[in-house]
Amino acid sequence: MANERTFSILKPDATRRNITGAVNAVIEAAGLRIVAQRRIRMTREQAEKFYEVHKERPFFGELVEFMTSGPVVVQVLEGENAVAKYREVMGATNPAQAADGTIRKQFAESVGENTVHGSDSADNAKIEIAQFFTDADIAA
């Protein structure tokens, strides 16, 4: 599919270590275009809503604490097969299992503090993008 969009978050471990530019370089080198980007501090309400599907998981509280512990960079990425491409570029959730060259292999600190989020389907990408951006924010 041409010109698909996905939603990305550079998580608080990335802003804390001042590596957002290094992560963006990997994203761009993979052929994904950053068509919207904003640095924000997520509220608890935003984080709980964003990760609602995980609310019964044992790590939910920790996840919300982490995602609100510092600034994040929310992004819209565009490119061919952007959803699957970005999942590939991010690497496995657990950096110990992430392939060489992936963002999580290079940068992630742990399964919880794993540097990036990327949508897991085109439908979820639309929902996630709409939580943080309007059409007017996106310059493609």
Q: What is the DSSP letter of 14?
A: H
Which residues partner with 33 through β-bridges? 78
The region of 30-38, 74-82, 115-123, 125-133 touching ligand ATP under the rule CB under 6 A is 115-123
How many residues at the interface with Mg ion, by CB under 5 A? Answer: 1
Both tokens of 35, joined, read: 């068509």
Whether residue 54 lies in the annotated active site: no
User: Has 93 been labeled as part of a binding site?
Assistant: yes
Candidates 117, 119, 132, 133; catalytic one: 117
In SS3 terms, 21-59 reads as: HHHHHHHHHCCCEEEEEEEECCCHHHHHHHCHHHCCCCC
What residues line the site for ligand ATP (CB under 6 A)? 54, 59, 62-63, 93, 111-112, 114, 117-118, 120
Q: Residues marked as binding for ATP?
A: 11, 59, 87, 93, 104, 114
